[in-house]
Structure 1
Amino acid sequence: MPTLILELLLGMKTSLRLLVLIGTLLSVAAVAAERPKVGLVLSGGGAKGAAHVGVLKMLEANNIPVDYVAGTSIGAYVGGLYALGYSATEIETIMMNEDWSKGYSDTIPRQAMSYRDKQQRDQYNIPLNLGIRGGEVQSPSGVLLGQTMSQLYRNTTDLVREFNSFNELSIPYRAVATDLETSLPVVISSGSLVEAMQASATVPGALQPAEIDGKLLVDGGIANNMPVDVVKAMGADVVIAVDIGSPLVKKDQLNGTIAVLNQLSTMLTNASTERQKALLTKDDILIRPAIDKLSTTDFADMPKALEAGVTAAVQHTARLSQLAVSQEEYRAYVQQKRDASRDWLDNLERPVTRIVLNNQSKVSDSLLDDILDIEVGDRVTKQQLNESIARLYSLNKFERVSAEFQDTDEGRVLTVTTKAKSWGPNYFQFGFNWEDDFSLDSAVTLDAALTMTDLTENGGEWRNEVKMGFEKLLGTEFYQPLDRDQQFYARARYQYEIKSWDLFDANKLYFELDRKSHRIDLGLGYNYVKQGRIELGLTGESGVVSNEAFFEDLKFNTYGAYFKFGYDTLDSISFPTSGNRFTLNIYLRNEEYEEGEFKTDPEHSLQIEADWKGVVSVGNHSFVGKASYSTVDKDGNFTLYVSDLGGFLNLSGYHKNSIAGAQKVFGAFIYQYDLGRDALGMKDFPLYLGASLEAGNVWGLDEHVMFNDLIYSSSLFLGTDTQLGPAALGFGFSDNGENAVYLFIGKNF
């Protein structure tokens, strides 16, 4: 009996709570039915979009509910977050703490790339995306692909599911984009919230167009920058429209191509805004924050824009107050929004019941699945998904990698889409280097390559290379992965190279040495980790060495086997702030030489080369170590396989590659101080002030390595990493009086 009474009491208590909840909802519904439905329209305007947040803060402070929201570009982003259920203060925190500058680069971080891709990035340092297909040169449809921007949006929206209708959000929502084919506005009312936001803000030419439902979509500001008509069609009785568009600039400011293009863009967006303003009635409210002097691209101005939004909304307090509800009614409205958001927020912690790979490339599904590293049953976190997407994108095979969730009764379905590069499958690559020591050498080298990819089932590649200028080379290489996961590979390479050295002998007499050679390598390799590889192979080389001091050219033929080991996690090849790089090369050769009537018998040689570079950073301070060792053990008393020293941070004070020998020892300690990424006024370029202490020397084949022979040198330099690779100006000096000035842009390794 006591148990029965307890159950009855508990049942009555639950029923009472249910009745109170129903009563509250009916009360809210009744109030909503009595008051006019408020539609919020947020226009586009880039970084000035923080003004929208200021307006939202004023609406919340004055108990003004929003029933519908529609936005364009940054307005679609802010409106989407508000429709998800975020408060104005939460949106402010998100926007002020996010590093928006990251969205302006889709470059894969060097440390995330495979060992082979790192080598190619260092060699071909011009970030130009060009390809060839069907005999025609292809390029992306935008300077940026939008991968990083998509990640920024995903970070702020969490892992919400796709929606059958954006009416399911806490506030019914619409994003407006422009159909690139027809120039007509497109109202996005369902699907992925991230894709809707990004499509609405995709600046044509700057960002790759978004494809939704078969349409190529770009920034909605072109067709409808302030979608008053959209929110009215949703059912709004009263519209609050926030206009953050830019004014046209004066003639004296139209002094460049970019300025003219910006003016044309402003004309289009302002024209569409004016058409929408004409739809506003006397009952509607137009808020125009005083942000004309702020930039659409400088996100450092967002705090000013937010305050301008607050100020502008305060100026309309009298009219806005007519839309206010009581404190109790507003609390019920906020609770209703929270209850609506529980529908998808509660699903974020549910396990994944199925994973779908929408693989729009020739990369094997098994490789993608291994790299994704998400299993059925996992409760996927935002960090975990971002790391998985970053790993897939770092394969350097895709223009976009995205992920979406669908919620079902059984659990969450994760769909991962990988889209192959649209400008492939054959790609051009270009490299550049210019250096001057203001004394002996001023050299320019240009590199170009055409790589044909996906030639075999496992992803075979054929690369053809040319190098012109100070260094000259023609090469062709076929790279064949031997398994679907591309761990094992075979490689065949031929190259013809012309190489010159400007050398000084012990008496500081200068002479030039020229070497022309044909070389073939056949190798089998194993990518034991993403950052490293091991390769065994056969090599053969034939050529001639000439110099004015030689009576006749020296001909040579060598052949043998090699072993190569490499590991590389450096974040920059020239000015690293993290990581290590180690290489070990071992060659077993037979060497034959012929000069006139004189010809040597085959002589056995063993060459060992080892190089290491590592860095540890503390704040803006980086401490870099370098070490290099090479030696040749040979039957005879002559070999062409020598190592050289001289040049920037390679025995500074000496001219580049000006001393050479069969044996080499070198070590350096380098200090770099990051002066800050704003030091040059360009946020993407860090500026380093550095100094080095170096020691090393070379010895002949029959000489003993004596540490008493070490040459000591130092350098001072300013350097930066640019889109064209590293650039530096430095001065080096040695303990024996040698000194040199170095200036280079591009490759220097």
Structure 2
Amino acid sequence: TLLCCTAAVAQNFPNGLTTDSVDPAADSLFFSRMRERMDSIRRTEHRPTVALVLSGGGAKGAAQVGALRYLEETGIPIDLVCGTSIGGMLGGMYAVGYDSGRLAQLFMDQDWNVMLSDYVDPVYIPYSMKMYNARYLISIPFDTAREVFDSRMPEGPGYRRQTFLGSLPSGMVYGFNVNNLLSSLTVGWQDSLSFAELPVPFVCVATDVVSGKAKNWVSGSLNTAVRSTMSIPGLFEPVRSSGMVLVDGGTRNNFPTDIARAAGADYIIGIELSDSKAGYEDVNNIVDIAMQFVDMLGGGAFLTNVKLPDVTIKPDIPEYNMMSFSREAVDTMLRRGYAAAQRKAGELQALKEKVGGGRAAVLDGAVNIAETPVEIGEIVFNGVGEKEAAIISKLLSFEEGATVGKKELDEVMSRFQATGAFSSVTWSLLGHAEPYVLAFEFVKAPANNIGLGFRIDSEEWASLLFNFGLNTNSMTGSRLNFTAKLGQNLKADIHYSLDFPRFPAINLTASISQYRGDLGTPGSKYAYNASYWTHKELLYLTDVRWTRLNFEAGFKNQYINLDRSTHLGSLIEQTFSEEALKGDYLGVFANGHLYTFDDYYYPSKGTSLSFGVNYDFIKPGDSSFRPVLTVAAGFRTVVPLGGKFAFIPEIYLRGVLSTGENTDGGGHVYKDISVLHTNFVGGDIAGRYTDSQIPFFGLDNVTIADEYLSTVALELRYNPARRFYVSAMTGIIESNDSASRFIPDFSPDIWAVGAEFAYDSVAGPIKLNCHWSNTNKWGVYVSFGFDF
């Protein structure tokens, strides 16, 4: 009843439209201009005019392309195209010269999983950001509340009210890849203009959630218009323009035949994709819910507008929905759309006899720079200051005067997006002919960040990771991070860095951690109860912008205090002295990591190669201390075997060198090293309990090893389904207290075999690892969540 009442009064809105508009005056000016154009066609071509109207429907828009192919075959001229959502996108492309064949190719060629996301190839993402993303399930950007209390703060496209809640995301994706695609397709028609000037006049509809009215895009930026009309609430962030917050136009007018009528078209052809009323079993996810709201809010206008076309084409695609972007689904919908139009052959032929003519060739269509690179005359950066522009310009791979295509611009945009400094980056090629002005538009991201990660496993039970970062999303200046791990073993650190545009960053880190658990001994299934706490301070240099390489070098101080009441503490105190349980160690260090994996947990390609050197040369208060040098290296790579199989070898090496020695009461000689320097091996995560811990799947407990340690693990991994993984593993551990005897006396202390079953969920891997070793026999490790 409510929808019927809405429809009954719909014609009372200005310009005879079925929905209220944010700018009736601009609409009226456009309609007046279009009616003049329609009159001119009638006078000069001696025929009635025709408008094509395309409804919303997501992936089902492929059926509209199929129907459009049949319309082109009939030769019916199109004088105006109107659309909403996917219909608006297709209509916009049709308006600048894309025929059904090119539109069908666009549908078929896209990777829609990428297109409907803000995915950036990992090759462009800084190393530090890759490591951050691998640890945190939730990352919430935010700003301070200072501006909330200052009414003089400006507002505009590059500014958002800076409150914590106000800076939270307004959609799952902002449309990074969709924006890039649209910009690459419409070169030559990206300036602000009246859409009556396009090769085929065009209108699309978005909804302004501030006023609750329809935004009828009759002028402005074609890319902005098209992006806003398909901004599905909850999936895409709204488009902010001229004080409006714009979402999918289907929430107000999903089938804008009223606009075609107001523009003076004599005949209207509509291609309509609405579904039958959704049932209980049809509403299953956030997209289904969003589309139900779209249908409910736009229902009144739809009931009126669906009656207006002279010919309505409705493809028969009940089994598909707005997310059916698979190649098979698209191909089927293209064919069914064509068949649906073919079923209207009688009506279309009758219309053809009335209008005659045919679609004139578009002589001034848009340039697709994926096919035809263009010359760049000038490059401008909007939304950033001079310092940031100077940094950004270094990320460009071309200069003014160069000829560039979609590939080059996609690469540059990926670099910009990967900085994390911007909530959105878009580009336009302004001008109607070469050389074009390349204009980048930046909207700064909230400067601060909160991260949350968790893991549940059979080793520590439940652990929570919390990060609070200040100014972490800025390109230069000071950054401050506080990180805390809560669980059986506690850890906290505070990290300050000062970043420079052209020089390595200066870093200062202070951390404290506590370990409580069991430490095993080589070749034995027994373990010592141990408990210790340690703090560490680091001053070092690094470069935060490297994407595949990380290098750190600097000074450090580390203190350890081993609890004398534990089994291990008591043993060390009795064997040596109380001083052996604790102490400060001052030294220098250098670490490097080459990292090219395409995924942190289940890479399909790439290599990880790491090294570390630590030299402790002073133990304050202990004149008998001799320097300790530790050297470590690690290697892991993925060898694709074709299909769903991969071979993954992994090698770790670590050596401890010290000139100092201690002798116990029995005459045994021991190296003068602490728990901080000792080799540890075992467990699933490297460095989980000590910096020197090397992972090994075949040991549940962390085990003390001799001074020279190597592990080798070989994994054969099978990927039977998209996120499922099954692995078979084997490996060995060899350790020796003498470097000279390491190779001659090589005889593995431990060898193990295992199998792992895993599912890579959005909340972190779910793993079940079953293994057997010659020392510890059977073991099981279960985990859910990220590694930290």
TM interval, shorter chain, is 0.7 to 0.9
How far the C-alpha of 1:466 sits from its partner, in A, is 1.0
How far the C-alpha of 1:154 sits from its partner, in A, is 4.2
**Residue 404 of structure 2 aligns to which amino acid in structure 1?**
V
- Secondary structure of the residue aligned to 2:246 is strand
Once the two structures are superposed, the pairs formed by residues 612-623 of structure 1 within 5 Å of their partners are: 612-617=635-640, 618-623=642-647
Say whether the 8 Å CA contact 1:450–1:465 is kept in structure 2.
yes
TM-score, with normalisation over the residues of structure 2?
Answer: 0.81
Once the two structures are superposed, the pairs formed by residues 177-576 of structure 1 within 5 Å of their partners are: 177-250=206-279, 262-278=291-307, 280=308, 284-300=310-326, 301-324=329-352, 329-330=357-358, 333-335=359-361, 337=362, 339-341=363-365, 349-360=373-384, 364-407=388-431, 411-421=435-445, 424-436=446-458, 441-453=459-471, 458-481=476-499, 483-485=500-502, 487-505=503-521, 506-526=523-543, 529-546=546-563, 548-549=566-567, 550-551=569-570, 554-576=581-603
Of 110, 132, 152 in structure 2, the residue corresponding to residue 120 of structure 1 is 132
For the structure 1 residues 264 and 327, does the alpha-carbon distance in structure 2 shift closer, same or farther, using more than 3 Å as the test?
A: closer
- Secondary structure of the residue aligned to 1:340 is coil
Once the two structures are superposed, the pairs formed by residues 565-714 of structure 1 within 5 Å of their partners are: 565-590=592-617, 592=619, 601-617=624-640, 618-634=642-658, 635-636=660-661, 637=671, 638-640=673-675, 641-648=677-684, 650-677=695-722, 686-699=723-736, 704-705=741-742, 706-714=745-753
How far the C-alpha of 1:545 sits from its partner, in A, is 1.1
CA distance in 1, matches of 2:512, 2:117: 36
For the structure 1 residues 325 and 589, does the alpha-carbon distance in structure 2 shift closer, same or farther, using more than 3 Å as the test?
A: farther
How far the C-alpha of 1:344 sits from its partner, in A, is 9.2
CA distance in 2, matches of 1:711, 1:746: 28
Identical aligned pairs, as a percentage? 24
Of 205, 208, 223 in structure 2, the residue corresponding to residue 176 of structure 1 is 205
CA distance in 2, matches of 1:344, 1:626: 45
How far the C-alpha of 1:108 sits from its partner, in A, is 3.8
CA distance in 1, matches of 2:223, 2:474: 35
* Alignment-derived partner of residue 22 in structure 1: none
How many residues end up aligned between the 2 structures?
694
CA distance in 1, matches of 2:107, 2:281: 34
- Secondary structure of the residue aligned to 2:365 is helix
TM-score, with normalisation over the residues of structure 1?
Answer: 0.85
- Secondary structure of the residue aligned to 1:291 is coil
**Residue 64 of structure 1 aligns to which amino acid in structure 2?**
I
- Secondary structure of the residue aligned to 1:175 is strand
**Residue 298 of structure 1 aligns to which amino acid in structure 2?**
S
* Alignment-derived partner of residue 35 in structure 1: 47
**Residue 696 of structure 1 aligns to which amino acid in structure 2?**
I
Say whether the 8 Å CA contact 1:639–1:662 is kept in structure 2.
no
CA distance in 2, matches of 1:77, 1:343: 16
**Residue 450 of structure 2 aligns to which amino acid in structure 1?**
F
CA distance in 1, matches of 2:353, 2:292: 42
- Secondary structure of the residue aligned to 2:336 is helix
Deviates more, 1:409-418 or 1:221-230: 409-418
Say whether the 8 Å CA contact 2:520–2:702 is kept in structure 1.
no
**Residue 642 of structure 1 aligns to which amino acid in structure 2?**
T
For the structure 1 residues 662 and 129, does the alpha-carbon distance in structure 2 shift closer, same or farther, using more than 3 Å as the test?
A: same
For the structure 1 residues 406 and 260, does the alpha-carbon distance in structure 2 shift closer, same or farther, using more than 3 Å as the test?
A: closer
* Alignment-derived partner of residue 108 in structure 2: 96
How far the C-alpha of 1:443 sits from its partner, in A, is 2.1
CA distance in 2, matches of 1:256, 1:579: 34
Say whether the 8 Å CA contact 1:652–1:740 is kept in structure 2.
no
For the structure 1 residues 543 and 504, does the alpha-carbon distance in structure 2 shift closer, same or farther, using more than 3 Å as the test?
A: closer
For the structure 1 residues 256 and 302, does the alpha-carbon distance in structure 2 shift closer, same or farther, using more than 3 Å as the test?
A: closer
Say whether the 8 Å CA contact 2:510–2:536 is kept in structure 1.
yes
- Secondary structure of the residue aligned to 1:117 is helix
* Alignment-derived partner of residue 724 in structure 1: 763
CA distance in 2, matches of 1:573, 1:454: 22
How far the C-alpha of 1:139 sits from its partner, in A, is 0.9
CA distance in 1, matches of 2:123, 2:531: 36
**Residue 603 of structure 2 aligns to which amino acid in structure 1?**
P
1:557-600 per-position Cα deviation (integer Å, ceiling 9, x unaligned): 11111122222121122221122222221111146499xxxx77
**Residue 611 of structure 2 aligns to which amino acid in structure 1?**
L
CA distance in 2, matches of 1:562, 1:226: 66
For the structure 1 residues 112 and 741, does the alpha-carbon distance in structure 2 shift closer, same or farther, using more than 3 Å as the test?
A: farther
How far the C-alpha of 1:475 sits from its partner, in A, is 1.1
How far the C-alpha of 1:350 sits from its partner, in A, is 4.2
* Alignment-derived partner of residue 11 in structure 1: none
Deviates more, 1:723-732 or 1:577-586: 723-732
How far the C-alpha of 1:260 sits from its partner, in A, is 5.7
How far the C-alpha of 1:387 sits from its partner, in A, is 1.0
CA distance in 2, matches of 1:345, 1:119: 35
Deviates more, 1:653-662 or 1:78-87: 653-662
CA distance in 2, matches of 1:310, 1:347: 27
For the structure 1 residues 605 and 468, does the alpha-carbon distance in structure 2 shift closer, same or farther, using more than 3 Å as the test?
A: same
For the structure 1 residues 399 and 656, does the alpha-carbon distance in structure 2 shift closer, same or farther, using more than 3 Å as the test?
A: farther
How far the C-alpha of 1:524 sits from its partner, in A, is 2.2
Once the two structures are superposed, the pairs formed by residues 64-143 of structure 1 within 5 Å of their partners are: 64-124=76-136, 126-134=137-145, 136-137=164-165, 138-143=167-172
Say whether the 8 Å CA contact 1:648–1:656 is kept in structure 2.
no
- Secondary structure of the residue aligned to 1:654 is coil
- Secondary structure of the residue aligned to 2:294 is helix
For the structure 1 residues 459 and 323, does the alpha-carbon distance in structure 2 shift closer, same or farther, using more than 3 Å as the test?
A: farther
- Secondary structure of the residue aligned to 2:317 is coil
CA distance in 2, matches of 1:329, 1:254: 46
How far the C-alpha of 1:196 sits from its partner, in A, is 2.0
1:385-422 per-position Cα deviation (integer Å, ceiling 9, x unaligned): 1111111111122221111011267721000112212x
How far the C-alpha of 1:327 sits from its partner, in A, is 13
For the structure 1 residues 208 and 629, does the alpha-carbon distance in structure 2 shift closer, same or farther, using more than 3 Å as the test?
A: same
For the structure 1 residues 630 and 160, does the alpha-carbon distance in structure 2 shift closer, same or farther, using more than 3 Å as the test?
A: farther
**Residue 760 of structure 2 aligns to which amino acid in structure 1?**
D
Say whether the 8 Å CA contact 2:699–2:776 is kept in structure 1.
no
Say whether the 8 Å CA contact 2:753–2:771 is kept in structure 1.
yes
1:433-482 per-position Cα deviation (integer Å, ceiling 9, x unaligned): 2222xxxx35222111111117999332100111101331121110111x
CA distance in 1, matches of 2:195, 2:371: 17
CA distance in 1, matches of 2:402, 2:284: 56
Q: Which blocks of at least 5 consecutive residues in structure 2 are unaligned?
A: 1-39, 146-162, 662-670, 686-694
Q: Which blocks of at least 5 consecutive residues in structure 1 are unaligned?
A: 1-27, 678-685
CA distance in 2, matches of 1:299, 1:606: 57
For the structure 1 residues 395 and 562, does the alpha-carbon distance in structure 2 shift closer, same or farther, using more than 3 Å as the test?
A: same
Of 69, 74, 78 in structure 2, the residue corresponding to residue 62 of structure 1 is 74
For the structure 1 residues 183 and 285, does the alpha-carbon distance in structure 2 shift closer, same or farther, using more than 3 Å as the test?
A: same
